[in-house]
Structure 1
Amino acid sequence: MPKDSGIGASSKRREDVRFLTGKGQYTDDINVHGQTYVFFLRSDVAHGRINGIDTGAAEGMPGVLKVFTGADFEGVGGLPCGWQVTDRHGEPMKEPGHPVLAQGKVRHVGDPIAAVVAETYAQARDAAAAIEVDIESLPAVVDMKAAVAEGSALVHDDIGTNLCYDWGFVEENKQAVDDAIKGAHHVTTLELKNNRLVANPMEPRVALGEFSPSRDEYTLYTTSQNPHVIRLLMGAFVLGIPEHKLRVVAPDVGGGFGTKIFHYAEEAFCTFAAKAVGRPVKWTSSRSEAFMSDAHGRDHVTKIELAMDENGKFLALRTDTLANMGAYLSTFAPSVPTWLHGTLMAGNYTTPLIYVNVKAVFTNTVPVDAYRGAGRPEATYQLERVIDKAAREMGIDPIELRRRNFIQPDQFPYATPVAVEYDTGNYQATMDKLIEIADFAGFDRRRAESEARGKLRGLGVNCYIEACGIAPSNLVGQLGARAGLYESATVRVNATGSISVLTGSHSHGQGHETTFPQVVAEMLGIDESQIDIVHGDTARTPMGMGTYGSRSLAVGGSAMFKATEKVINKAKKIAAHLLEAAEADVELANGQFTVAGTDKSVAWTDVTLAAYVPHNYPLEDIEPGLEETAFYDPSNFTYPSGAYACEVEVDPDTGKVEIVAFAAADDFGNVINPMIVAGQVHGGIAQGVGQALLENCAYDDSGQLLSGTYMDYAMPRADDLPFYSVDHSCSTPCTHNPLGVKGCGEAGAIGSPPAVVNAVIDALHSGGKTHVEHIDMPLSPARVWAAMQG
């Protein structure tokens, strides 16, 4: 019977009350006394030398307080990169500077050249139009292969190359992989692209900087997934502000999907300018501005080779990838195509030899960084597409080929050849569940019905595994991370028994204010309504690393668990004193402390009151109060996994693809709130379907952004998506965190693109179009139709 509270209950999202009634407080809702506005003049050329900037006319226009150019930021640090990659030759990556405002050159359309601060947004915009910029246009490099070719135009002259790094992993496997591929019974080769995406969260980015001269303190209100990281990066590396003098606040955040992890120039500018003009400075991105200033996602070109024996057993895997960094290194960009991608190339399979080569490339485009899944979707797409192609070439059913190569339950913990160890999993069970919920037995009948209506029906499958809760800090530090990847929590119990949980994790739609109380309430046996979650303010919460990589419960929730354990241990001491019993005999259940084997008990609220009104208190043993803090640094990643199935109908006359059914069987370990988990999977699948069929961020050869508005960038609508069959009953709990959770936020975006593409190829083959082995995403009607024509 379903639970009605605590862990495992589908408690309704408490935050939705304010969101659905228009009472949420997003960053743009915050306005402060004396506020001014900034408008950024952005480059309309992809690559050019700045010969001069004339701000005279703008400075004299109504309402203008100050016009800033790159010269105002000389001596100010550039935006830092948070992860350094060392290449396969032992050399550190190339790390060019990233100024707050362009200095010397512009390097992509949208690069900020100047900024006008004025009394109103309209005045700032009008004055920006009066700035005269002399830019000498230079050849732009957009194509990655062209960028690394000899004689290519250089994005950054000072580093002398467009190659950021040439990374090989695992380098000592390289020769053995080459030999295995050379001697294999069969090798399947596939070249594919992982298309560039724009995250497009509901809420565009906003920054509001404020400076208090009386306290010599700065405050930044921003749309961020990790305010403590922004405080650290901006304070220490850009503006030189001591952390105790800088407060960063991220209120309600309307979606992030990775794009709000990073530190952006606009945040540093508004904080800097607030002191310079003596007034608060606010910036709100327009949607079209977001297309050319928010970090983009994906954008890989890959050749993958899979070697097999005569029975279809995987022998070796080799990939060569070009990964686009864009014009500058965004905060965590170097880690995405390397440690978040290469380490997952084993997938769910026992492939003994793997070698991954990644060349990261600078181009005259918007910087590219983590987008929902960050590296794991790219790895899964490569692997699951080449397996499907291999199944056809070998004449083996695609599910059977996967089963022959699955890691088996008795093989866990399983050390892969790409340096990670999976602790638990049951890939046969999730595949069995998928076959059940997707009704594979009825597919032939459904295909016949589609064909009777002149449509081609296809069924595509996909298996995935991902690594969540990036950890531990000592390992990622060796891999180049320039920050710890722990999480923190303070559990503050009030005298009347209610609780405030202060967490370094930050919500941007995941439902933290609902799920986190479920964990604490379950441990204490009190009602969830008595627990409040505090997050998003560096002045109120302990130092934390924020939310991304499906880490909120696995890492943040574990920190809460540890802090709550400390609270319980202290509360038992107080209860033992009140009950005149030995501490070891005191048990806590359903909000009551009881002496084991007796009817003697004391309520939770009696103990909490005693902690703050210590008239009858073991003062000789413990100090008054009931508040504990814990930092949790995981010992390993968590490894969610699953199997997905997609059914499509393809119109052979137009190439239009319609998804008619979609099923997802996931292993997320222990599930805290099934309703919220299902919602996370639904949202991820929607974004994966968007990538597979619709979304594509495109540039022309001169570096002009062709898909800079919703008129040109096709976001999925409701009628592009089917109803989903979602199951997460085949769970194997994580063995190394106290909650046994694995993470669910990215799974749908990882598992869905290859399932969709596999389904379309299957549909075309059913209609006799066997020459079509691959179509690059997005599978638009034009691309599918062209492929069918050969």
Structure 2
Amino acid sequence: MDANATQTAEDQFGIGQPVRRKEDVRLLTGGGTYTDDINLPGQAHLAILRSPHAHARILSLDTSAAKAAPGVLLVLTGHDAAADGIGLFPVMVEVPPMDGTQPLYAPPRSILQTEAVRFVGDPVVAIVAETRAQAMDAAELVEIDYEMLPSVTDTARALDPDAPVIWPERGSNLCVTWSNGRKAETDAAFAKAHRIAKVELVQNRLVGNPMEPRVAVGAFDMARDRYELHSPSQGVMKVRESLAKFIFKIPMEKLRVVSRDVGGGFGLRGKNFPESAMVLWAAKKLGRPVKWRADRTETFLSDPHGRDHVTKAEMAFDANGKALGMRTNTMAAMGAYLFDFGPRIPTVAGARIAGTVYDLQAVNLQVQCVFTNTHSTDAYRGAGRPEIAYTVERLLDVGANMFGLEKDEIRRRNYIRPDQMPYVNCVGNELDSGDFAGTQQMALDLADWTGFAARRAESEAKGKKRGRGIGYFIEASGGQPQEWARLNMGADGKARLHVGTFSHGQGHETAFAQIVHARLGIPFGDIELVQGDTDEVEQGFGTGGSRSSQMGGVATSRASEAVLAKAKRIAAHLLEAGVADVEFHAGRFAVAGTDLAVTWKQVAAAAQDPTKLPEGEEPGLDERVLYKRSTECNFPNGCHVAEVEIDPETGVLTVDRYAAVDDVGNVINPMLVHGQSHGGIAQGLGQAVLEHALYDNESGQFLTATFQDYAMPRAQDLPDLAIGFNIVPTPINELGVKGAGEGGACGAPPAIVSAACDALGLDHIDMPLTPERVWRALGR
């Protein structure tokens, strides 16, 4: 291939190009390995008997009929788990309590309950049989005598004096009270306020509902004394660590975790689940592999939920509409138990972007994490940042109404200016880059903000109400500030890239190959991605918090550069030249100013032959990199603009137009980022308009455990989405990339609710904007 042809290939497949996803051919033609594709020879099947009650004491438990049922191989209870030394499920974070308050309380969570159940779906008995149907049938034969106890499922009531206490040893339903500790500065700001905007709002509880239900297949190799788990995840290393260290109390090397293709993660798949431990435990006891698979209702019951906050918030303004301070008081539901990161989400995680994109220092946040007789909450797309953005944006809209300002104008008066960058926000995080006013203007232009009046008139002529709204957000993305990659080039010149991140739909096989191709010039199709297997991946923190491109991508880039540096040394030896004299271009290593050159394949082949290597070089082109950075996060952001139309006869709200401009730094593949934007907006629209996981306040029963009761967004619910970028590279990594996965979930709820309030002439209406809720609001 000549230089011009190579350059064309680089243009087509390099960084910044909209390369079609290479993995899609395999996935769309049935070559993927999803939930029911995961099977091991000779496997048995596990079913779980779950609590039908929100809160009850277990008086007796009789499994004799189940043990005698056809096909049943094993019946396990919490008593068996205790006898076998199965550990308690850990909480992976410690949230510091507010001064003068109790430390965080992490209740003990067993793999199966023996004394009491605390939410509908709490696991009580595990049954293993030859077939899934036999295991499920046997579960019906277990006899449990329950003593019903009062329950509390309403987050706002969890700390009421008469609320039932879920953990009596704690003395109340308070898990922890947290604050960022700026009460004095905030009170001082409010004392100078010209006007104060106030809002009370609810963050509705959500169920993530990935496309594939969860599955876990466990095996135990007696000869090697080693467990093996096959299960979808968002990164195998963390799953292995949690199970090995806390549940089975074994060395890491005694547990292999494998994740193949994953049909959606959204934060939910990054956890240590009881079902994963159950199949491993059962497999060892039974001496054969054991598989558990959730159906859709079990997904509703057993996957962690998201959000579920009740917040009272205020914002102080001066006479010109400039925000002086903000204070919030939030009650955040944890569920009956704590999951991996549950109490961190509404506290430390969300607070990283307190004040969001506005010049606002006097911010005091106070959060009470509370126990309720519900399933646990944990990270769900955005994980604390959508909640903060929603609160700030709602207060600004209320403030705009108080001052008679347009929504875009009150934001312009409050944005952090470019000359203030880098900007240290009110919790000490340095926002390294951004053009917030510029991004807003690009979004307004994309949305045809100035043409709204004509569209409103058209709606009114049809008897409809139309409104427009803005939602600006900033993300704290990146997660753990280190990531691992290994690049191994074979003698044939093809590369295998091992990464510690994990793709569960983001297109890493494509994006990471683009990085390697851009750095090394080898054909895009000759780059293979290896991930999701603790036998292949040495370390890494998986994918969550939009960290893959900025952490795994940079590690990939550096591993590629390390391979290139060694290849230059080998090429110089082959060409009998100095390393400094060797130039690399268009896939060739050449001595500057001469026609002496070798190709990648020649260098790759020589790298395997010790006789052709420079003195001191080890055979192979195989480089490992652990990329570390001094900052935990970077800060993608964006402005989303929505228009809604409301039918006043029925209360039906339609999101009619939607535009979004995001700053995700440099874009590795715009097609992939557009896909991430679309998916995030769809989930944000779902929260704003449709989705709400509901428990009955009296019985504690879960009312929305099927798609007949829980409204997921469908294609017809979304308008055409106009997506743009305002590219402001971050200076904290050499790729200049920021996170891209969670913006839509942050921007859509405030934008859509803002538009609905505009149409209805209200300061605020809570999500979801169901026809009944909107219709009742019209009658106020």
TM-score (norm 1): 0.96
Match of 1:536 among 507, 532, 535: 532
Q: Which residue of structure 1 aligns with residue 227 of structure 2?
A: 218
Q: Which residue of structure 1 aligns with residue 262 of structure 2?
A: 253
Q: Which residue of structure 2 aligns with residue 603 of structure 1?
A: 599
User: CA, structure 1 residues 27+247, in 2 after alignment: closer, same or farther (shift >3 Å)?
Assistant: farther
Q: Distance in 1 between matches of 2:275 and 2:691?
A: 26
Percent identity (aligned)? 50
Q: Which residue of structure 2 aligns with residue 130 of structure 1?
A: 141
Bigger mean CA offset, 569-578 vs 142-151? 142-151
1:12 to partner: Cα distance: 0.6
Q: For residue 197 of structure 1, what is the amino acid of its counterpart?
A: L
* RMSD over equivalenced CA pairs, Å: 1.3
Q: Which residue of structure 2 aligns with residue 68 of structure 1?
A: 76
Deviations 1:631-664, CA, capped at 9 Å, x for gaps: 1233221110111100111111111111111000
1:514 to partner: Cα distance: 0.7
Q: For residue 612 of structure 2, what is the amino acid of its counterpart?
A: N
Matches within 5 A, 1:615-764: 615-618=611-614, 620-636=615-631, 637-701=633-697, 702-728=699-725, 730-764=726-760
Answer yes or no: is the 8 Å Cα contact 2:648–2:775 preserved in 1.
yes
Q: Distance in 2 between matches of 1:435 and 1:306?
A: 25
Q: Distance in 2 between matches of 1:316 and 1:355?
A: 8
Match of 2:426 among 400, 417, 423: 417
Secondary structure of 1:214's counterpart equals: coil
1:203 to partner: Cα distance: 0.5
Q: Which residue of structure 2 aligns with residue 356 of structure 1?
A: 365
Q: Distance in 2 between matches of 1:31 and 1:177?
A: 57
| Residue 770 of structure 2 is aligned to residue 780 of structure 1 | yes
Q: Distance in 2 between matches of 1:12 and 1:733?
A: 23
Secondary structure of 2:739's counterpart equals: coil
Q: Which residue of structure 2 aligns with residue 449 of structure 1?
A: 458
| Residue 22 of structure 2 is aligned to residue 32 of structure 1 | no
Q: Which residue of structure 2 aligns with residue 545 of structure 1?
A: 541
User: CA, structure 1 residues 128+471, in 2 after alignment: closer, same or farther (shift >3 Å)?
Assistant: closer
Q: For residue 530 of structure 2, what is the amino acid of its counterpart?
A: V
Answer yes or no: is the 8 Å Cα contact 2:193–2:316 preserved in 1.
yes
Deviations 1:112-167, CA, capped at 9 Å, x for gaps: 10011111111111111000001111111112232212343221223222111000
1:369 to partner: Cα distance: 0.4
Q: Which residue of structure 2 aligns with residue 22 of structure 1?
A: 30
Answer yes or no: is the 8 Å Cα contact 2:192–2:318 preserved in 1.
no
Q: Distance in 2 between matches of 1:579 and 1:411?
A: 52
Q: For residue 705 of structure 1, what is the amino acid of its counterpart?
A: F
Answer yes or no: is the 8 Å Cα contact 1:44–1:110 preserved in 2.
yes
Q: Which residue of structure 2 aligns with residue 79 of structure 1?
A: 89
Match of 1:11 among 3, 19, 22: 19
Q: Distance in 2 between matches of 1:399 and 1:562?
A: 42
Q: Distance in 2 between matches of 1:19 and 1:73?
A: 39
Q: Which residue of structure 1 aligns with residue 392 of structure 2?
A: 383
Q: Distance in 2 between matches of 1:587 and 1:325?
A: 58
Q: For residue 782 of structure 1, what is the amino acid of its counterpart?
A: E
Match of 2:64 among 35, 56, 66: 56
1:624 to partner: Cα distance: 1.2
| Residue 273 of structure 2 is aligned to residue 283 of structure 1 | no
Q: Distance in 2 between matches of 1:226 and 1:108?
A: 28
Q: Distance in 2 between matches of 1:9 and 1:145?
A: 49
Answer yes or no: is the 8 Å Cα contact 2:432–2:730 preserved in 1.
yes
Secondary structure of 2:589's counterpart equals: strand
Match of 1:316 among 303, 325, 329: 325
Answer yes or no: is the 8 Å Cα contact 1:346–1:418 preserved in 2.
no
Deviations 1:59-78, CA, capped at 9 Å, x for gaps: 11111111101101113211
Answer yes or no: is the 8 Å Cα contact 2:490–2:621 preserved in 1.
yes
Q: Which residue of structure 2 aligns with residue 475 of structure 1?
A: none
Matches within 5 A, 1:3-402: 3-74=11-82, 75-89=85-99, 92-169=103-180, 171=181, 173-402=182-411
1:274 to partner: Cα distance: 0.3
Q: For residue 556 of structure 1, what is the amino acid of its counterpart?
A: G
Bigger mean CA offset, 23-32 vs 520-529? 23-32
Q: Which residue of structure 1 aligns with residue 5 of structure 2?
A: none
1:593 to partner: Cα distance: 1.5
1:432 to partner: Cα distance: 1.6
Q: Distance in 1 between matches of 2:99 and 2:113?
A: 32
The count of residues paired between Structure 1 and Structure 2 equals: 767
Deviations 1:764-787, CA, capped at 9 Å, x for gaps: 22xxxxxx2211100001101101
1:28 to partner: Cα distance: 2.3
Q: Distance in 1 between matches of 2:384 and 2:745?
A: 11
Answer yes or no: is the 8 Å Cα contact 2:57–2:146 preserved in 1.
yes
1:614 to partner: Cα distance: 3.1
1:743 to partner: Cα distance: 1.1
Deviations 1:576-610, CA, capped at 9 Å, x for gaps: 11122211222222211122343332211111111
Secondary structure of 1:697's counterpart equals: coil
Secondary structure of 1:158's counterpart equals: coil
Answer yes or no: is the 8 Å Cα contact 2:610–2:618 preserved in 1.
no
1:325 to partner: Cα distance: 0.4
What stretches of structure 1 of length at least 5 have no aligned partner? 473-485, 766-771
Q: Distance in 2 between matches of 1:92 and 1:590?
A: 60
| Residue 455 of structure 2 is aligned to residue 458 of structure 1 | no
Answer yes or no: is the 8 Å Cα contact 1:302–1:319 preserved in 2.
yes
Q: Distance in 1 between matches of 2:229 and 2:103?
A: 33
Secondary structure of 1:533's counterpart equals: strand
Q: Distance in 1 between matches of 2:54 and 2:109?
A: 15
Secondary structure of 1:157's counterpart equals: coil
Answer yes or no: is the 8 Å Cα contact 2:467–2:645 preserved in 1.
yes
Secondary structure of 2:468's counterpart equals: strand
1:440 to partner: Cα distance: 1.3
Answer yes or no: is the 8 Å Cα contact 1:554–1:743 preserved in 2.
yes
Answer yes or no: is the 8 Å Cα contact 2:304–2:378 preserved in 1.
yes
Q: Distance in 1 between matches of 2:594 and 2:356?
A: 53
Answer yes or no: is the 8 Å Cα contact 1:27–1:250 preserved in 2.
no
1:471 to partner: Cα distance: 4.3
Q: For residue 409 of structure 1, what is the amino acid of its counterpart?
A: P
Q: Distance in 1 between matches of 2:36 and 2:485?
A: 28
Answer yes or no: is the 8 Å Cα contact 1:489–1:631 preserved in 2.
yes
Q: Distance in 2 between matches of 1:403 and 1:601?
A: 57
1:294 to partner: Cα distance: 0.6
Bigger mean CA offset, 530-539 vs 180-189? 180-189
Answer yes or no: is the 8 Å Cα contact 2:486–2:498 preserved in 1.
yes
Answer yes or no: is the 8 Å Cα contact 2:62–2:143 preserved in 1.
yes
Q: Distance in 2 between matches of 1:245 and 1:659?
A: 52
